[in-house]
Amino acid sequence: MNQLKVNEHRLEQLFLSLCQINSPSLQESDITNWTKRYLLDFGLEVREDEAGSKIGGNANNIIAHLPASKQGLPKVFLSAHFDTVEPTPELVIQESNGVWTAATDTILGADDKGGMAPAIEAVLSLKEMNVSHGDVYLLLSVAEEIGLKGADALDIQSLELDYGFVLDTGPPVGSFVNQTATHDKLEILIHGKPAHAGKDPENGINAIQVLAEAVCHMPLGRIDHETTANLGVVSGGTAVNVVCPFVNVRAEARSLSVDKLDKQVAEMVKCFESAARKFGTTVTIEHDRHYRSYQISDESRVAKIARRASEKVGLDFALRYTLGGSDANIYNAKGVETLVMATGMEKIHTHEERISREDLVKTAKLALSVLLESAEISR
C-alpha cells in the first residue's frame, strides 16, 4: 500500500472507544452524544436531525460537515451506522495477532463501528491535509439494524450531494457493492381455534399444525443464486393444555430479480392459505416491500472514483453484489448515487465477530483516497 497517511493511533483508539459504548437500535443516545462531542472537538460542523422522534428512538442521525476549501468540486459523503445488532453491555475487547474480538459473550460491534471509525478518520485526515476539496459530509445513522429506519428518516436530498459511500460490508477491502436485492417482509397470523387439549381437542384447530403443513410445502433457504427466503420468528399459543389458537410468523424473501421475488412471495402466501383451507381456518398476511434493489453501473462516476481510489492505495478493486441491505438502499432510492465500501468486519452478527488492525487502517486509507479522488487531487 502506498504512503497515503492516516493517523493510525487515533483511528485505533476511536474504533475501540466506539465499540465500548453500548448502542443497540433505538437506544443510541450515549454513542451519538459521544461522537458529536468528538467531531466538534476536531472542528467539524455538526448537527443532528429529528430521526429519533420519527422512529421511536432516543437518538438522532448525526450530520457532520467539512466545508469545501475550493468551490465547484463534488459534494460527497461517507456514511456508517451507530447501532449494533444486539446490546454489548460490559464488553471486554481482546486482541490477538493484530485481530480484535470480544472476550465477553457478545458481539464486538465492528458492524458498523469498523466502518464508522475509518469514515471519521478519513475526514479528519483530509481536514489536516493542505489540499483542495469539495464539501464533505459524514452521515452517521441510527436504527439501521432494524430496517434502515434512521436513513429512511434522514432528509438526504436537502444536502444536494453528488454521491457517496456507505462503509458497511465485509472484506475484501477494495471491493464495493454496486448491486443489492429487493427485500420483502411478511407478517402472518394463523387463526386457530382453542379447545381443551385433554377434554375435547377435536373441537379445536391447532395453529401450529397449520404452520407445519404450510412449511412442508414451502420453498425456503437458498432458492437460487439470486433469491433467498426465510421464516425467522414464530410465536403463539396460550397454554400447554389449550389447542393452540394462534401463531404469529415473521418471514422474509430477497432477490436481485423483482420477478423472482414476486414469484417467491406468492408461493409463500399460497402455502399458508392452502394449509389454512385444509384445516378449515384462515390466515391474515401483511406484505411489505421493505427496501428496493439498486444497481450502479461500473461506468458511473462513483464507480470510477472507487476504482481509481483503490488502485492508488494498492488494493484490488472489484464490484460485487450482495443480498444484504444497507443504508445505501435508502440513499439510492432517494436519488443519491451510493456504493457500499467493504471494511474488515468478519463473522458479523455472531459472537465470533472480528476485525484486524490491518484492515481497519486499509479501510481508512481507502476512504481518504475516495475523498481525494473525488476532488481529482494529484499526489
What's the gap between Cα 338 and its chain centre? 14
In angstroms, rounded to a whole number, what is the distance separating the alpha carbons of residues 241 and 322? Answer: 45
Query: Is 144 an active-site residue?
Result: yes
- Determine the Cα–Cα distance for residues 144 and 287; give it in Å rounded to an integer: 20
Q: Which bin fits 98, alpha (ψ -120 to 50), beta or left (φ > 0)? A: left
Beta pairing partners, 289: 184
Catalytic residue among 12, 144, 145, 168: 144
Q: Which residues pair with 80 in a beta bridge?
A: 140
The residue assigned the cell 475484501 is 172
- How is residue 20 annotated by DSSP? T
Count the Cβ atoms, other than its own, within 10 Å of residue 350: 11
Helices (H), 182-297: 207-216, 258-278
Catalytic residue among 12, 83, 152, 168: 83
What the block records as the C-alpha cell of 17 is: 472507544
| Distance, first Cα to last Cα, the chain | 14
Give the residue numbers annotated as catalytic, written as ranges. 83, 144
